[in-house]
Amino acid sequence: MKRRRKTRKVRIGNIEVGGSAPISVQSMTKSDIRAVQSTLNEIRKLKRAGCEIVRVAVKDRDSVDAFRRVAEKSELPVVADIHFIPRLALETIEAGASAVRLNPGNIKKAEDLKGIIKRAREKRIPVRVGVNSGSLSARSSNTADDMVKSALDYIKIFEKNRFYDIIISLKSSDVSETVSAYRKMAGLCDYPFHIGVTAAGPLLSATVKSSIGIGTLLEEGIGDTVRVSLTGDSLTEVEIAREILSALKLRQFAPEVISCPTCGRCEIDLKGITEDFLKRIKGMRFDGARSKLKIAIMGCVVNGPGEAKDADIGIAGGKNSGVLFRKGKKIRTLKQEEFIDVLISEIKNVKD
């Protein structure tokens, strides 16, 4: 992995973005903000799932009062997502937004931006310049270049007004275009990046596209906050984003679980055991050494003992049974029914 790109640091509520701050996970609520309680409930669940910043769509002036009530009670810093109507940016800033997202494709006038910049500076909140390939006002044969140009032109207006608390995103539904745009932009400024592949589709394609797009960028040291875009549950967006960060060892939220794909040699219910184990540890809090554990649950003696020995805690399956390993040392033989309880108590016994 390349060294992380050096960027300025900005602050969205209590979360730092860029610089040496941990790469944060964010999502967007799916509820209509006018349903204040549903939105707050969704935010609470998002927080529990590990989300650190939440964005909400504010589409008209009727939604501003609801936004104010959400921002007041939200357990996460709230970013107002604004399109088309500059006045909404001003009103949501007044109403307690921790940041605003503006789209250069639909809020364009320097005059409009001047007022937003003034209030954002006074309230000390950042602005995300959120370019989307789908709303570019000018398109050539190179969408990545168009996205970069759109962001650069926009940022110039901010810089002319001596405003630098900027976060940039350059999203396309095409993975290569997205990666290429961020790579180019990375060499042209030091603003932190919000990264993601937009409109990535339902679960399977969103997971694959986001993992490749976000994963490639992060591997190159590019990216300061992550949003997985999914036609589906916002909590799943957070789960996938956290998995991407964990897979790259950029952040570790819970033990890493390794399990084999199973084959005709397997004589335990490895799929059921692994799924149940993951469900059991999902609600647990992991700090320090426990969050860095590697746990292997393997189907048989071919690769099982090797993987199980390499892990901090491992089980190599046999016939309705398995051998427990701790730090490479064989501990004892277990019945299949004991696996999950034993793994949990092994985790609990690890000292922080």
* Sites of contact with ligand SF4 (CB under 6 A): 260-263, 265-266, 298-300, 302-304
- Least distance in angstroms from the C-beta of 208 to ligand SF4: 22
Q: How many CB atoms lie within 10 A of CB 292?
A: 15
- Least distance in angstroms from the C-beta of 258 to ligand SF4: 11
- Least distance in angstroms from the C-beta of 303 to ligand SF4: 4
Cα angle 89, 91, 97 (rounded to 5 degrees) comes to 70
CB closer to ligand SF4, 302 vs 331:
302
Q: Which residue has the tokens 């000292």?
A: 351
CB closer to ligand SF4, 138 vs 263:
263
- Least distance in angstroms from the C-beta of 304 to ligand SF4: 5
Contacts with 142 (C-beta within 8 Å, 6 or more apart), sequence order? none
Edge to edge, the sheet with strand 256-259 lists: 256-259, 294-298, 313-317, 321-326, 329-335
- Least distance in angstroms from the C-beta of 299 to ligand SF4: 3
CB closer to ligand SF4, 172 vs 259:
259
Q: Rounded to an integer, what distance in angstroms lies between the CA atom of residue 225 and that of residue 194?
A: 5
Structural element, H or E, at residue 145: helix 143-160
Q: Rounded to an integer, what distance in angstroms lies between the CA atom of residue 185 and that of residue 178?
A: 11
| Token pair recorded at residue 265 | 């040699």
CB closer to ligand SF4, 154 vs 277:
277
Which class for 203: exposed (0-12), middle (13-18), buried (19 or more C-beta within 10 A)? middle
Q: Which of 173, 179, 80 is nearest to 135 (CA)?
A: 173
- Least distance in angstroms from the C-beta of 316 to ligand SF4: 8
| Token pair recorded at residue 58 | 């504010």
Mapped onto helix, strand or coil, the DSSP state of residue 329 is strand
Q: Which position's Cβ is nearest ligand SF4? A: 299
- Positive/negative CA dihedral, 229, 233, 237, 243: negative
- Least distance in angstroms from the C-beta of 204 to ligand SF4: 22
Q: Rounded to an integer, what distance in angstroms lies between the CA atom of residue 197 and that of residue 87?
A: 28
CB closer to ligand SF4, 266 vs 278:
266
